[in-house]
């Protein structure tokens, strides 16, 4: 497996403080050719930006997670706009969205900032990375309101039903699939992963969280993505090679990056 694209990682997380440089070096030696470090608030967006500046194979997404929207004020909004527009390694606005699992952040605040960040992405011409937990209907409604289909992006760590997937597909979104699909009880996700067209699926870790079986509960990293590839191939009845090839191409289309393995029309050269 020599060309894996991790579309959603948090290598800026403090859990990588003890050995970040070693982990990042081992990724490059083990076929993880590209990864996007996703900001979850203003401080982590700044860290994601520094990592992407320091490592050729890393990109960043800048944005404020629904439970961190308290980070947003006039000053940080201006910062986000300037940096997302000017940083050549910034490939998306994210992660943004709605999270009704945690009860600390009022839904109205989450909705307002989700809409504001979708508008920012539209203004800058960047795709969005959506975090949505226990908020399927509101997420869908706000995406419609913001005409997210024209903005484009990915539903990260997709956790809803295949019926819901059909609705998001109408907006031409991608679906991030990671370690959860290897969990024994992930029946609903396996059904969705069978249903979603292969050209809409991208690989992600959300590391340090959500390590796949047999590492469930441990610190996750992109090195465990082959377990996700294996499960996806089983679920869809296709080869691991097909999963790798498709998810690699999809990730480049999602983040609008030139694919070194493809010609300009997006067709695979090898």
Q: Which residues bind Ni ion (CB under 5 A)?
A: 206
Nearer to Ni ion, 186 or 236 (CB): 186
State the nearest-atom distance from the C-beta of 48 to Ni ion, in Å: 11
Q: Shortest CA distance to 211 belongs to which of 247, 157, 261?
A: 157
Q: How far is the CB of 133 from Ni ion (least distance, A)?
A: 11
Nearer to Ni ion, 12 or 206 (CB): 206
Q: Which is nearer to Ni ion, 204 or 259 (CB)?
A: 204
- Taking the complex as a whole, how short is the minimal distance between the CB of residue 43 and Ni ion, in angstroms? 15
| Rounded least distance, CB 132 to Ni ion, Å | 12
Helix H segments across the chain?
Answer: 20-29, 42-54, 74-86, 107-124, 136-145, 148-151, 162-170, 187-195, 225-236, 240-255
H helices, E strands: number in the chain: 10, 8
- Contact at 8 Å (CB) between 92 and 118? no
Instruction: Identify whether the C-beta of residue 202 lies closer than 8 Å to the C-beta of residue 249.
Output: no
Dihedral angle of Cα 138, 141, 144, 146, to the nearest 10 degrees: -60
Using Cβ positions, the residue closest to Ni ion within the complex turns out to be 206
The two tokens of residue 95 are 């992660």
CB closer to Ni ion, 36 vs 259: 36
Q: How far is the CB of 40 from Ni ion (least distance, A)?
A: 6
Closer CB to Ni ion, 206 or 249, in the complex = 206
């Amino acid at each position: 497996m020599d060309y894996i694209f991790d579309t959603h990682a948090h290598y800026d997380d403090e859990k990588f403080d003890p050995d970040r440089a070693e982990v990042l070096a081992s990724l490059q030696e083990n076929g993880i050719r590209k990864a996007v470090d996703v900001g979850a608030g203003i401080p982590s967006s700044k860290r994601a930006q520094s990592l992407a500046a320091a490592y050729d194979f890393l990109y960043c997404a800048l944005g404020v997670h629904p439970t961190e929207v308290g980070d947003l004020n006039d000053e940080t909004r201006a910062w986000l706009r300037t940096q997302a527009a000017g940083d050549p390694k910034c490939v998306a606005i994210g992660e943004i969205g709605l999270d009704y699992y945690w009860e600390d952040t009022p839904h109205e605040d989450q909705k307002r900032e989700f809409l504001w960040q979708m508008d920012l992405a539209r203004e800058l011409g960047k795709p969005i990375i959506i975090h949505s937990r226990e908020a399927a209907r509101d997420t869908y409604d706000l995406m419609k309101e913001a005409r997210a289909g024209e903005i484009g992006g990915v539903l990260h760590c997709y956790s809803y039903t295949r019926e819901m997937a059909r609705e998001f597909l109408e907006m031409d979104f991608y679906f991030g699939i990671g370690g959860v699909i290897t969990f024994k009880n992930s029946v609903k996700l396996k059904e969705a992963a069978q249903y979603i067209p292969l050209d809409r699926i991208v690989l992600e870790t959300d590391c340090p969280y959500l390590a796949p079986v047999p590492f469930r509960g441990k610190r996750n990293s992109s090195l465990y993505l082959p377990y996700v590839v294996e499960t996806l191939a089983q679920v869809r009845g296709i080869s691991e090679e097909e999963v790798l090839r498709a998810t690699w191409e999809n990730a480049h289309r999602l983040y609008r990056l030139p694919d070194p393995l493809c010609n300009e029309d997006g067709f695979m050269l090898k």
